[in-house]
Amino acid sequence: MAHKGKVICILLAIMTVSLFAADDFDLQFVVITNDQVHFDVKVQIKRNNTDWDKLGDANFSFDYNTSALSNASLLVAHNFSGTFYETMTVTNPSNASVNIELLIADNGIDVTTGWMDVATVRFDVDDAGQSSNLVWLGSDVTFSAFDDDNTTLLDPGVLNNLDVSLPVQMTDIQAESTVEGIELSWTTQSEVNSMGFHVWRSDTEDGEYELLTTSLISSQGNNSSGAEYTFVDANVETNGTLYYKIEEKGADGSSQQYGPISVEARIIPEVFALEQNYPNPFNPLTTFTYDVPEIADVTIKVYSLLGKEVTTIYSKQQMPGRYTETWDGTNNRGQKLASGVYFLRMQAADFVQMRKMTLIR
């Protein structure tokens, strides 16, 4: 029985060491920029225990998809560079490595137990039809990290890799005002793990954009030859310049916006119409709106109560749209007319309509 008890004690001792042994630090990547030109990621570190607190020399090496990305370089050194450290570097031989070198032992910077920025690494995007495939080389001889005594080797814990889709290659976005509304069309050259698209709209280029799509416009998902897409914004209520963006959503949760593209919105009515002027009665100005559903020669004139032509407000060919004009109560010679009843008459092709107006001086 004594022999068995000794075995049990040894096993308990081994279990205790296993339970309380903790990995020293975790690493992760955070995407900062993901467009067709650059792929920027922030390297972050987190301390897991109180066995150490300050970082010494370190080489955080990782592989990446060299078919899609190239020229890994240091964009920003957030910590562990200068003052107590040599200038941080990012080397890029067969893989990438964030290199940290402490100047004086036992004089490093504290590593927090929350995520702490180390560096932002920039890649050039060579092929936006692939994924990033960033993989930490935690078990490789190129990967190491020391406490600031520069003798105690730290054990890596959770090393969060990053494999996100690089953006859809968008080759063309167009917008056109039609009878149905603003028709948007776009073409992709290639797609990788794409879920679909959202459409956003604003009345100013740098203003707040409104989401128009209630659900994703489904994409091809994975398609090396790309595809064509269309969306009609049927809720355009006024004429003027509108701005649109196309947002691509990836299967990994990533997103990329394209645009903005601008278009002159023209409300295309279904039929000819002449609206009642306002205000009415008026003095000295009145305003009216009229609709032109197709290209037509449009003439708008004002007549007196006796049927005599007073003035011509408009007489030209017009494109389809909704238009607004004003009349200041004067004749063709610019003379003010007397108070009374006048008739506004619009003619376009076979369409003729009149509205009664009252001028009060």
Distances, alpha carbon 73 to alpha carbons 19, 115, 181, 182, 290, in Å = 40, 22, 46, 43, 60
pLDDT (tens, 9 = 90+) of the chain, 361 residues, equals: 444 444 444 343 333 333 344 589 999 999 888 877 889 999 999 999 999 999 999 999 999 999 999 999 999 999 999 999 999 999 987 799 999 999 999 999 999 999 999 999 999 988 876 889 999 999 888 999 999 999 999 999 999 999 887 766 777 899 998 878 899 999 987 777 788 999 999 999 999 999 999 999 998 766 666 789 999 999 988 788 999 999 988 887 778 888 899 999 887 888 999 999 999 999 999 999 999 999 999 999 999 999 999 999 999 999 888 899 999 999 999 999 999 999 999 999 899 999 999 999 8
Are 261 and 283 found together in one domain?
A: no
Compute and round to an integer the Cα radius of gyration of the chain. Answer: 35
Peptide bond before residue 320 is cis, with ω within 30 degrees of 0 = no
Q: What is the CATH number of the domain that holds 95?
A: 2.60.40.680
Are 278 and 260 found together in one domain?
A: no
Are 150 and 36 found together in one domain?
A: yes
pLDDT for the residue 222: 67
Model confidence pLDDT, tens digit, residues 268-292: 888 999 999 999 999 999 999 999 9
Three-state DSSP string of 325-360 = EEECCECCCCCECCCEEEEEEEEECCEEEEEEEEEC
Are 236 and 280 found together in one domain?
A: no
In 3D, which of 269, 302, 275, 272 has the Cα closest to residue 288? 275
Are 233 and 173 found together in one domain?
A: yes
Are 146 and 187 found together in one domain?
A: no
| Amino acid residing at 250 | G
Are 29 and 106 found together in one domain?
A: yes
- Rounded Cα–Cα distance for residues 221 and 197 (Å): 11
Residue 12, domain member (yes or no): no
Q: What is the DSSP letter of 65?
A: -
Residue 240, domain member (yes or no): yes
Question: Where is the domain boundary, 107, 135, 159?
Answer: 159
Question: Where is the domain boundary, 265, 297, 315?
Answer: 265
Are 350 and 309 found together in one domain?
A: yes
Residue 11, domain member (yes or no): no
pLDDT for the residue 156: 95
Are 22 and 155 found together in one domain?
A: yes
Q: What is the CATH number of the domain that holds 191?
A: 2.60.40.10
- Quote the domain boundaries for residue 237: 169-265
Number of Cβ atoms within 10 Å of the Cβ of 339? 11
pTM of the predicted model as reported, rounded to 2 decimal places: 0.50
Model confidence pLDDT, tens digit, residues 301-343: 999 999 999 999 999 999 888 899 999 999 999 999 999 999 9
Are 154 and 34 found together in one domain?
A: yes
- Rounded Cα–Cα distance for residues 232 and 242 (Å): 13
Q: What is the CATH number of the domain that holds 286?
A: 2.60.40.4070
Question: Where is the domain boundary, 265, 291, 320?
Answer: 265
Residue 309, domain member (yes or no): yes
Residue 126, domain member (yes or no): yes
Are 106 and 198 found together in one domain?
A: no
Number of Cβ atoms within 10 Å of the Cβ of 309? 12
Residue 283, domain member (yes or no): yes
Domain total for the chain?
3
How crowded is the C-beta side of 219, counted as CA atoms within 13 Å? 29
- Virtual torsion, Cα 289, 295, 297, 299, nearest 10 deg: 0
